[in-house]
Chains A and B, each alone.
Chain A
Amino acid sequence: MSTETVDPQATDVAADPSKASRFGLRSRVLRDYGIVLILIVLFVVLAVANDAFLTTTNLLNILDQWAPLGIIAMGMTFVLISGGFDLSAGAIYALAGVIAAKSANELGVVPGILLGCLVGVAAGGLNGLLITAAKINAFVATLATSIIVGGITLAITNGNIVFVHARGFPTLARGELIGIRYPVLMLAAAIVLAALVLHKTAFGRYVYAAGGNPEAARLSGIRVGWVQTATYMAVGFGAGLAGTIIAARLSTATPDAGGYPLLFDVFSAVIIGGTSIAGGYGAIWRTVLGVLLLALIGNGFNLMNVDTVYQRIIFGAIILFAVWVDQMARRRSTR
Chain B
Amino acid sequence: MSAAVAPHIELAGIGKRYGGIQALGGIDLAIAPGTVHALVGENGAGKSTLGKIVGGVIRPDDGEMRVLGEPVRHHAPRDALRHGITVIAQEIALVPDRSIIENVFLGLEPRRAGFVSSRALRRRFAELAERASFELPPDAVVGTLPLAEQQRVEILRGLARDAKLIVFDEPTAALSPPEARALFASIGRLREAGTTIVYVSHFLEEVLALADAVTILKDGRLVRTADAAAETVETLITSMLGRALKTTFPAKVRSAPDAPVVLEIEGLGRGTVVQDASLHVRAGEIVALAGLVGAGRSELARLIFGADRADRGVVRIDGDAFRARRPGDALRRGIAMLPESRKEQALVMDRSVLENVTLAHLGGMCVAGGFVASSREWSRGTAMLERVGVRPQLPKAPVSALSGGNQQKVALGKWLIETPRLLIVDEPTRGVDVGAKRAIYDLIVALAQQGMAVLLISSEVEEALGLAHRVLVMRGGRIVAELDGETTPEAVMSHAFGAVGTEPHTTTTLRMTTGEQPSHAAEETT
Contact = CB atoms under 8 A, between A and B. Distances in A.
A14 interface: yes
A20 B20 contact: yes
Contacts of A213: 344, 347-349
B372 A200 contact: yes
Contacts of B332: 221
A212 B18 CA distance: 23
Contacts of B344: 213, 215-216
A95 B521 CA distance: 73
A220 B349 contact: no
Given A11-B401, A13-B394, A14-B394, A202 B349 contact: no
Contacts of B372: 200-202, 205
A222 interface: yes
Contacts of A1: 350
B397 A21 contact: no
A218 interface: yes
Interface string A210-229: 00110111111111000000
B350 A219 contact: no
A14 B396 CA distance: 7
Contacts of A78: none
A9 B352 CA distance: 11
B344 to A, nearest CB: 6
A170 to B, nearest CB: 34
Contacts of A21: 17, 61
Nearest to A4: B350
B182 interface: no
Contacts of B365: 202
Contacts of B396: 6, 9-14
Contacts of B121: none
A15 interface: yes
Contacts of A209: 348, 351, 359
Interface centre among A2, A13, A221, A280 (most CB of B within 10 A): A221
Contacts of A200: 371-372
Contacts of B19: 11, 14-16, 19-20, 24
A210 to B, nearest CB: 9
B339 A219 contact: yes
A123 B58 CA distance: 46
Interface string B347-381: 11111100100011011011001111000000000
Contacts of B348: 208-209, 212-213, 216-217, 280
Indicate the size class of the contact surface on chain A.
35 or more
Q: Of residues A208, A213, A219, which shows the largest number of chain B Cβ atoms within 10 Å of its Cβ?
A: A219
Nearest to B374: A200
Interface string B451-467: 00000000000000000
A196 B369 CA distance: 11
A218 B394 contact: no
A218 B20 contact: no
Contacts of A205: 355, 359, 362, 372
A218 B350 contact: no
Contacts of A212: 348-351
Contacts of B371: 196, 200-202
Contacts of A280: 348, 350-351
B34 interface: no
A215 B345 contact: yes
Contacts of A203: 370
A220 B360 contact: yes
A5 interface: yes
A17 interface: yes
A308 interface: no
7 contacts: A10-B396, A13-B397, A16-B19, A24-B18, A202-B366, A221-B332, A335-B59
Interface of B: 17-22, 58-59, 61, 305, 307, 326-328, 330-332, 337, 339, 344-352, 355, 359-360, 362-363, 365-366, 369-372, 392, 394-398, 400-401, 414
Interface of A: 1-6, 9-21, 24, 196, 200-203, 205-206, 208-209, 212-213, 215-223, 280-281, 335
